[in-house]
Amino acid sequence: MSLFPWILLLLPLLAAAANQLYLKRNAFIASMVSTGSVVVTFVIALVLWGLDEPSAASFSWMAVGDGVGIDLTLKLDPLATGMMALVTGIGMLVHIFSLGYMAGDSAKARYFTGLSLFMFSMTGIVLAGNFIMTFIFWELVGLSSYLLIGHWYQKDSAADAAKKAFIVNRIGDFGFLIGILLLFGITGTFVFDGMREGLASFEADHAAFFTENSAAFSIILGTALLCVFCGAIGKSAQMPLHVWLPDAMEGPTPVSALIHAATMVAAGVYMLFRVQLSIGEDFAFTFAGDVIAWVGGLTALFAALMATQQNDIKRVLAYSTLSQLGYMVMATGLGGGEAGMFHLYTHAWFKGLLFLAAGAVIYACHHEQDIWKMGGLLKKMPITGATFVTGTAALIAVPFTSGFFSKEAILHAAEHNQALFWLAVVVAVLTPFYMTRVIMVAFLGKPRGDDSDHAKEVRPVMWVPLAVLGVLAILSAYPGIHSIAPATPEHAGEFHPNALFWISLGALIAGVVPAVLLYRNRDKDPVSIPLFRERFYIDAIYDRVIVRGVQNGAAALVHFFDEFIINGLIVGGASRLAVSFGLLFRRVQNGNLQGYAFTFGLGVILVVYFTTFWK
Amino acid sequence: MLLLLVLIPLLAFAAILGGAKARQTAVIASGVNLVLGLAAAFSWKAALWGFTVPVLSTPAIHLSLGFIDGMSVVMLLLSVIVAFAASLTGTAPDGREKLYYGSSLLIAAGAIGAFVATDLFFFYAFHELALIPTFLMIGILGRGERKAAAWKITIYLGFGSLVLLAGLVWLAAATGTFDMIAMQDAEVIDPSAQKSIAAFLIVGFGILVSLFPFHSWAAPAYASAPAPTAMLHAGVLKKFGLYGLLRLAVPLVPDGLGAWLVPLCVLLLGNILWVGFVTISQKRLDGMLGNSSVMHMGYIFLAVAALVAVPEGMTNEWALPAAVLLMFAHGVSIAMLFGLADKIERATGTLDLDKLGGLAKSAPSLAFLFGLVGMASIGLPGLANFAGEVMVFIASFANYEPTAGLGPVQITCILSIWGVVISAIYMLRAYRKVFQGEVVPSTEEAADLGMTDRIPAVLLAVVLLIVGICPNLLLSLLPK
């Protein structure tokens, strides 16, 4: 049994390696190898999920002393195995969908290599037994995301988006790594299982210090946790590092579904919950919890506002993803990690569905992504259209869909913080508003362009995954099915017509009705709010002020000083001195080896002479 | 046996001077050395590797070679691997084959000798032996501003060697021996002398390793050096300074180094942050690589700082392996980068970032290998540099006491982690400009790597992967 979970981890890597090394020219076999590997891993994930406390062998990776070092260990608790079932399940559907979506792509083999590399890396994050492993795979998902966003690397926009995603994530990782090290300094370990104990003994060892400085413990632990949270800010695209995710839509749409909606971007939430579990109740005690919750809440709000004015169908979904991730982060910060994880689980299915359905639409409309050039697609593409509507229903929390139950869990987790609770309710109004806008404009009404006029329903290889996801978008939150979720709050999936229910139903209606009235039979957007459309000008400020101004300015300034002060003055002085070495220089120029060797020999003799006389 | 490893390149050098086919001789000699080096890694504890001949009786100087500990083995491995790859990289200009291939052999012999010498005199002399052909190669066969670059590196390293020499002589005087093994058992050096010796060693070795602010020789020298010279110097020979600090300064003048801890931290941050920004502003690939190499030296100095800062009565098991692993990883990756940059220039005729673009289309293998080693050099897990860097960071926090606040090493570490962002910026920007985007005239007809070009690059890539995935292979050589 003990090597079995390792197969789950390593199989996608093998597939990626085989594709890269041997199958580059045989795209069909490469796509089959990747898809086959994810089917097998899905089965393994289901088997592991059913097992009671599965275990895996561990290996020494980096040993520097007796018992000092880093081991490779897999953690196989219900959180990890549930997450695995989710990741491989969606991964499998996205692979199958990609067989159709990428059929005509000239670099199909490279695409599937990237997907397999991603599956490997994501599995690693989920199963990591210690923080160093988490960080390793954290970086590797960053790489696979970089490769897949930049799949069409000859397009400048795709290449730039890939680079941006990687660098912005690295900024988050800067804090993440510091946090890991600080936490290591506190608990003395990187291993998740040992953290609680390490923390307890840290507190006990310095008991005198902490009674004297009562706030110190919270400050020390809280700072470390906040730094760790920086990793989640980057990977889960929270403000202020959210800017890479909308640009990441330059990648093929199935990639957006799998990586930039359902799984990788949720890794930040997963990691936070993993830390919450490992640290125990101290997690929410520190000031870090409040900061995390507010970052999440504000991201949820601002991203939803941005989504209301986007015209690219994928960008609407991208901002919606930001907003929903903000919900999850907020819940986790408030100590309701279970609610956050539960929303992660339902969101993965319905957002994966929405992206794939959008992909099918884009495919059918010959890569048109502007919703104002679509219209009437529900008639042209009934299956795709129906699944998109289903996904939307779950996202906007129509009662008795999966998203309804998980959003209620989030609101419930926020109940003890009035400000954040009402903020979350505002987001729950905005979400139905912008999604209804998309449906009204793109799927209803009349076709507004040739591409949408000639759109046809996609092939079964693409709509079957949509249908499966559609079913899950409705049912995944119900008791029985949700037992596979990585974590579920108490009473998840149960219906209670309490105050919370009426509030969220009110929010739904308050969002849908104005959107229907505003956007029925429109040819262009009747609302224009540049602030929202231009994303609060955050991207522009980053580009002009931080990248071009601060970073490039500083680089140029430092370069100037390097060139003229250090190089010019110091070395300039040295070269004047060196004129007296002129003989040596001429020999270098002439390449007179003997002459040089003579000089060197002279030096050696001098050394010997010098040392002899020293004594 | 170790004498063989030094003699083979020297004999091959003599054979080339005597008229043997230069390239073939160089490749065969480096190949044999590679095999011997690998054999040494498996059997270095056996007595047969040692070698001693007295050279001078007063003071007692011996030509003695041996593995003082596993660190020498790792450095030897690095030398033979990079030397073999360098012998397969680059083509000599017509009529200069003797100088071109002969110099590489001399550099390799000198580097190997320096890493396995157990006598202070030869430790120093072998390094000097390797420096001379480095200067010559840059001054005679270099590109661009070769004369200025050769001038600069000669003055700088000449001066550095002089300072170092003073420090080493003082060290020998203080311990009363030239024997590097016997030194370790000598009486503890008086603290005030330690402080002065440490200063000489930090500055002397530091200049050789391009420690800030003594770094400005490196980038122009590497930019104009022929590919094999840049590979051998940046990859192998430069590590001599770090090896020397770890081998001599850390064990023999620990208190002296301790007195300079804060200045050392400031200087290494100069490498990482200051030179990091200089790297971002580079407009040519060779300049960028040269500066990035300087920048990454800062992380190895950070490991040295962590080692120096260990509190009384405590140990830091991470720091020394971290430094050694990172030296190895950096050496392999920078050699591969310089080798591939040479290929880019041969294929497109330029290394100006603004004149390149879309090269991945015409040269996919080159793009893949450059991408791999570029990722290695910015610390992507799974490749050797990450293992080294993460160990350096852990080492910096191994003796951290949260209730006492952050010490100088922890603060330095935190600031230096910003380097992972800086290196991502310049490396991805360069990759973006060279390989991605629209095809431009210079890359339209560019040829991909040929079969023989691939051998050195793939060899180095495989080494990076093996050590990155299983760092224990190297760590097991080091003392626990």
For B339, the domain range is 260-480
Query: What span, in angstroms and rounded, lies between the C-alpha atoms of A152 and A165?
Result: 15
Q: Which of B262, B255, B297 is nearest to B276 (CA)?
A: B297
> By CB neighbour count within 10 A (0-12 exposed, 13-18 middle, 19+ buried), where does B335 fall?
buried
Cis peptide bond prior to A240, omega within 30° of 0? yes
- Write out residues 302-331 of B within 8 Å (CB-CB) of A: 317-318, 321
Instruction: Give the per-residue pLDDT at A299.
Output: 93
Instruction: Give the per-residue pLDDT at A174.
Output: 93
Query: What span, in angstroms and rounded, lies between the C-alpha atoms of B370 and B360?
Result: 10
- Asked if the C-beta of B40 comes within 8 angstroms of chain A's C-beta atoms, the answer is no
Q: Are A82 and A341 in contact (CB under 8 A)?
A: no
Query: Using one digit for the tens of pLDDT, what is the confidence trace for A378-391?
Result: 888 888 889 999 99
Nearest-by-CA chain B residue for A551? B277
Q: Are B248 and B175 in contact (CB under 8 A)?
A: no
Tokens 């459309």 belong to A533
Whether residue B302 is contained in a domain is answered as yes
The contacts of residue B468 (CB under 8 Å, 6+ apart) are: B329, B376, B381, B382, B383, B384, B385, B386, B387
Whether residue B148 is contained in a domain is answered as no
Query: Using one digit for the tens of pLDDT, what is the confidence trace for A25-43?
Result: 888 888 899 999 999 999 9
- Write out residues 148-187 of A within 8 Å (CB-CB) of B: 150, 153-154, 156, 159-160, 163, 166-167, 170-171, 173-174, 177-178, 181-182, 184-186
Cis peptide bond prior to B441, omega within 30° of 0? no
- A65 beta partners: A68
Tokens 């080492």 belong to B395
* C-alpha separations of A118 from A22, A112, A238, A258, B254 in Å: 19, 10, 21, 10, 46
Query: What span, in angstroms and rounded, lies between the C-alpha atoms of A39 and A92?
Result: 6
Whether residue B397 is contained in a domain is answered as yes
Cis peptide bond prior to B254, omega within 30° of 0? no
**Cα of B59 to nearest chain A Cα, Å:** 6
Q: Classify B21 in phi/psi space as left (phi over 0), alpha (psi -120 to 50) or beta.
A: beta
- Asked if the C-beta of B387 comes within 8 angstroms of chain A's C-beta atoms, the answer is yes
Whether residue B106 is contained in a domain is answered as no
Is residue A331 scored above 70 in pLDDT? yes
Average pLDDT over residues A121-126: 94
Is residue A609 scored above 80 in pLDDT? no
**Cα of A162 to nearest chain B Cα, Å:** 9
Instruction: Give the per-residue pLDDT at B432.
Output: 92
Query: Using one digit for the tens of pLDDT, what is the confidence trace for A532-580?
Result: 777 777 888 787 777 777 777 777 887 877 777 666 666 555 555 554 4
Nearest-by-CA chain B residue for A68? B317
Give percent helix, percent strand, percent coil of chain B, each to the nearest 5: 75, 5, 20
Q: Which of A163, A240, A165, A298 is nearest to A537 (CA)?
A: A240
Quickly state the pLDDT bin for A605 (edges 50, 70, 90): low
Whether residue B174 is contained in a domain is answered as no
Is residue A471 scored above 50 in pLDDT? yes
Query: Distance from CA of residue B311 to its chain's centroid?
Result: 29
**Number of CB pairs < 8 Å for A and B?**
193
Instruction: Give the total number of structural domains in chain B.
Output: 1
Query: What span, in angstroms and rounded, lies between the C-alpha atoms of B288 and B159?
Result: 25
Rounded to 10 degrees, the C-alpha dihedral B169/B171/B172/B176 comes to 140
Average pLDDT over residues A49-67: 83
**Cα of A530 to nearest chain B Cα, Å:** 30
Instruction: Give the per-residue pLDDT at A137.
Output: 95
- Asked if the C-beta of A63 comes within 8 angstroms of chain B's C-beta atoms, the answer is yes
**Cα of B222 to nearest chain A Cα, Å:** 16
Query: What span, in angstroms and rounded, lies between the C-alpha atoms of A180 and A186?
Result: 10
Q: Are A272 and A292 in contact (CB under 8 A)?
A: yes
Average pLDDT over residues A316-328: 92
Q: Which regions of A454-576 does DSSP assign to beta strands (E)?
A: none
Whether residue B437 is contained in a domain is answered as yes
Q: Identify the DSSP state of A53.
A: S
Query: What span, in angstroms and rounded, lies between the C-alpha atoms of B307 and A172?
Result: 28
- Asked if the C-beta of B470 comes within 8 angstroms of chain A's C-beta atoms, the answer is yes
Residue of A68, A167, A185 with shortest CB distance to B425: A167
Instruction: Give the per-residue pLDDT at B133.
Output: 87
Q: 3-class SS at A68?
A: strand
Average pLDDT over residues A196-222: 85
Residue of B173, B280, B437 with shortest CB distance to A614: B173
The contacts of residue B130 (CB under 8 Å, 6+ apart) are: B106, B107, B108, B109, B110, B111, B114, B232, B237
Quickly state the pLDDT bin for A585 (edges 50, 70, 90): very low
Tokens 């023989």 belong to B452
The contacts of residue B15 (CB under 8 Å, 6+ apart) are: B25
Average pLDDT over residues A399-427: 89
What are the pLDDT tens digits along chain B (480 aa)?
888 889 999 999 999 888 888 888 999 999 999 999 999 888 888 878 888 888 877 778 888 888 888 899 999 999 999 999 999 988 888 888 888 898 999 999 999 999 999 999 899 999 988 888 888 888 888 888 888 888 788 878 888 888 898 899 888 888 888 888 888 888 888 888 888 899 999 999 999 999 888 888 888 899 889 999 999 999 999 999 999 999 999 999 999 899 899 999 999 998 999 888 889 888 899 999 999 999 999 999 999 999 998 888 888 889 999 999 999 999 999 999 999 999 998 888 888 888 888 888 888 899 999 999 999 999 999 999 999 999 999 999 988 888 888 888 999 999 999 999 999 999 999 999 999 988 888 788 888 888 888 899 999 999 999 999 999 999 988 876
- Interchain proximity B393–A160, CB inside 8 Å: no
Whether residue B382 is contained in a domain is answered as yes
Whether residue B231 is contained in a domain is answered as no
Give A559's contacts in chain B (Cβ within 8 Å). 277-278, 281
Query: Distance from CA of residue B20 to its chain's centroid?
Result: 30
Q: How many residues does chain A have?
A: 615
Instruction: Give the per-residue pLDDT at A583.
Output: 43
- Asked if the C-beta of B96 comes within 8 angstroms of chain A's C-beta atoms, the answer is no
- Write out residues 31-60 of A within 8 Å (CB-CB) of B: 60
- Interchain proximity B382–A140, CB inside 8 Å: yes
Quickly state the pLDDT bin for A298 (edges 50, 70, 90): very high
- The whole-chain average pLDDT of chain A stands at 84
Dig out the tokens for A93 from the structure: 């559907």
Q: Identify the DSSP state of B403.
A: G
